[in-house]
Amino acid sequence: MVGETIAGYRITEVVGRGGMGTVYKAVDEALDKTVALKMMAPKLAEDASFLARFRSEARALAKLDTPGIVRVLAFREEPEGTFLVMEYVEGRTLRSLLRERSALPFEEAMALFDQILDAIAHVHREGVLHRDLKPANVLITEGGQVKIADFGLAKMRSADLTVTSTYATAGSVCYMSPEQVRGLRNADERSDLFSLGLMLYEMLAGTLPFDTRQGSFAVQRALVEEPFPLVTAHRPEVPEEVATVLDQVLSKDPEERPARAHALREALADHLPERRMALPPTLTRTEETAPRHWWRTPVALGMVTLLVLLVAAFATIQYVLDVPQPTPGEASTVVLDVSTAPPGAAVYLNGDSVGVAPLRLERPPATEVAVRLAHPVYGALDTTVALRQSVALDLSFPDTPVLAQATDERAAPTGVAGGEPATDEETEENPTPRPSALPSEGEASDREELPEAPTDQQATGSLRITSTPVGAAVWIAGERAGTTPLTRAEVPVGSLTVAVRQEGFQEAARTVAIRPGDETDVTVALDPQPAAVQLEVVPFADVWIDGTLQAEGVNDVFQETLAPGTYTIEARYRGFRWARDVELTPGRSWQQTIDFTREWPLVITAVSAGGERIPNAEVRLGDTVLGYTPQQIRLRTGVHTLTVGREGFAADERTIRVDQDTESPLRFTLTPTN
C-alpha cells in the first residue's frame, strides 16, 4: 500500500500493525496535511455486525473534543479497504519511555498520569469505554501533550443493543481488568480505571505487580486471584496515601474501586501537579530550563554526596567490626578425616549428607558437630566431635550384621526429620548401634523377621533379581548393584531393600530377608508410568480427547493423566476448533497453550508440480476470497480449510492447524487441467 493514493490520501509509510488492522502515515493531498490511516483488517471489514458497530463507535469518537484523545477526522469505505482518518501524532509512546527508563520519578509519573486521567474522564463522560488502555496506546507528543490512541476495542455505553459483535474478548492481557479476563459483558468505567491503575503502578515501580514472563495463563490468574503487593514494596518513597489509593483501584472487586475517573482524581489530588505540566521535565527540557528545587542545587547535591560517602564508610567499618575474626593462631578451616571398618558408611554432619567413608573434609572451626555413620549392612553409629582443630575419626562397626539402613539420598540421619532421636545411651563413649526401620511398599505381612545371627562361618546367602522388562537398574540397600537379570552371591544375611528402576516405568521396591545358605528370588513386573496432558486455554474452551468430551468451559488449565499412547486432543471455542494428534510418552508431560484470541501471519504461495511459482491464484477460506498468491493472511488459532486455485488448474484444498507451531510459507501445488 505504501506509495498508493486512496481517496485523496497518499500513503507514505507503515506506522504499526495490530489485530484490528494496519496504521499508515499518509498525506491528505487536498489539504497538504499529514494524517494517519487505520485500515481495517479484511476479515473485520467483511463482518457486517462488526462494521455496523464500528461505524457507530467511529461517529461517537469523532465527537470527542479534548486534546488528550487522538482525533478521528473521517471514516471511509473504499474498494481498497475500510479505514479511519485520524490525527497524526509526532512523538513516542509511554511503552517506549518505560522500556528506556523503567520507573519514572514520582513527580513526572504523576504529571503524566494526571493528563491520562483527564482524557479518560472526558471519554467516560461521553459514554465511551476504551477497554484497551496500556502504555503502547498512550502517546506523548514532542510538545509534552498526552494523547490516548487506539479505540478499536471501545464500547459505547449507549450503543444500540441490537448491534452485536463476535469480537467480545477485549484488551491486552497484561492490562486487563479481572472482569475482562472472566469475559463479563457488564464491565463499566471501573474496568478502565483498573487498567489505569496498572499503568500508574508500572510508572512508579518500573514493573507490573505480577510476573509477565510466565505466559498469558499465569498473568490472567494473577489478575483474577492473586493479591498484588503495594507499590511501596518496589519503591518505598512513594507516599503511603498514593499506595493506598492505588491498591484500592487495583481491587479484584469493581465495587471496591472508585466509581469514576474524577473520583480517582480527587483521591490523588494532593499528589497531582497544581498546574498542568505539558511534559515531565526530564523528557525534553534542558537542565537550564527545568524547574529547580532546593534539593537540586549544586550545594545541596554536594552535601548529599558527602552524607552518602560518610554513611557508606560507617557501614563498612561496622561490618568489619561485626564479622567474627579468627583469633591469633586459629586456622580458618580444619580437616576432618573419617574412616570406618568396614568402609562404605554414609557420613552425615549435623544432619547433612557429605559423602561416604573414607572421607577427608575441610570445615570451618566449630565447638561441636553431630556425626552419623550409616552402613548398609551393619547399621548406624552416632557421635559428636569438637572441630576446634583437625580431627581424625576412625570407628569400627560390630562384627554382627544388624538391620541395614538405606543410605541413598532419601535416608534420614538421627536428629533430622524422618529419623529417630538419639538415646541417652548412644554417646561417644558408648556408640551402640541401633536398628532402623526400613521403607517398604508392601504390606506388613510381607516382611520377614530378621534371622538370628549365625553361629558358624556361613553368614551369607545369595540373591537373584529379575524384572519385566529386562535391563532395569537395581539398587540394593541404597547402592547401585547392576541391571536385571542380576545374581549376587555371598550377600550378608539380614534384611535388604531392593529397588528396581527403569525409565518410563514406576519404581518397584521390596524388602527381602537373606538367610544363611539360601537363594532368595525377587521377581518384579514394572508398571508403565502414566503420561500427563496440560492445556492452557485462552479465553475458554471445551476439551475433547478421542472424540469424548472431557471438560466444558475450561478457562484456565486443563490437566489429565493418561496411559502412554496416541490421542486426538481437541479444544472448541465458539465457532473455532483446534485439534492435534499427540503421542504421549511414559512419565512425560505434554503441554500446549491454545490462545483463540491470537492471529498468526501466514504466507500463501502456489507452485506447479515442478516447484515453479504460479502467481495470481485465488486464495479462499471457505466461501471468502482472501486474495491472490503470493498472499499474506492472518488466521485465528484453530483448524481452517484453505483452497487455492486458478483457471486452467485443479484447485488444491488443504485443512491446516493454525497455532504457534504452524510453518510459513504454505505452498499449494496446482496441477494443469489440460
Question: Domain segments of the chain: what residues?
Answer: 5-87, 91-281, 333-437, 444-525, 531-595, 599-672
Helix axes 189-205, 94-101, angle to 10 degrees: 30
Q: How far is CA 400 from the centre of its chain?
A: 56
Structure confidence at residue 149 (pLDDT): 82
Task: Identify the bridge partners of residue 112 per DSSP, sorted by sequence position.
Answer: none
Report if pTM > 0.85: no
Q: What is the pLDDT of residue 357?
A: 77
Q: For this structure, is 132 an active site residue?
A: yes
- Which pLDDT value is given to residue 104? 92
The domain over range 444-525 is classified in CATH as 2.60.40.1120:
yes
Question: Which of 28, 114, 118, 132 is labelled catalytic?
Answer: 132
Strands across the sheet containing 557-562: 557-562, 531-538, 589-595
User: So what's the pLDDT on residue 371?
Assistant: 85
CATH 2.60.40.1120 fits 599-672, yes or no: yes
Query: Are 91-281 and 531-595 in the same CATH fold?
Result: no
b/e burial code for range 526-536 (CB count within 10 A of at least 16 → b)? beebebebebb
d(CA 363, CA 369): 10
* Residues 496/481, Cβ–Cβ less than 8 Å: no
**Count of beta carbons in the 10 Å neighbourhood of residue 127:** 13
- pLDDT, residue 309, reads 63
- Is domain 5-87 in CATH 3.40.50.300, yes or no? no
Predicted pLDDT at 186: 66
User: Which pLDDT does position 215 carry in this prediction?
Assistant: 64
Say if domain 333-437 classifies as CATH 2.60.40.
yes
For domain 91-281, the CATH superfamily is: Transferase(Phosphotransferase) domain 1 (1.10.510.10)
Contact 196, 116 (CB under 8 A): yes
The b/e string for 329-344 (b: 16+ C-beta within 10 A; e otherwise) is eeeeebebebbbeeeb
All three cell numbers of 280, joined, read 515531565
Spans of the chain below 70 pLDDT:
17-20, 42-44, 47, 49, 53-54, 56-57, 60, 152-172, 183-186, 214-217, 274-332, 344, 353, 367, 376-378, 397-458
- Assess contact for 636 and 599: CB atoms under 8 A: yes
The dotted CATH code for 531-595 is 2.60.40.1120
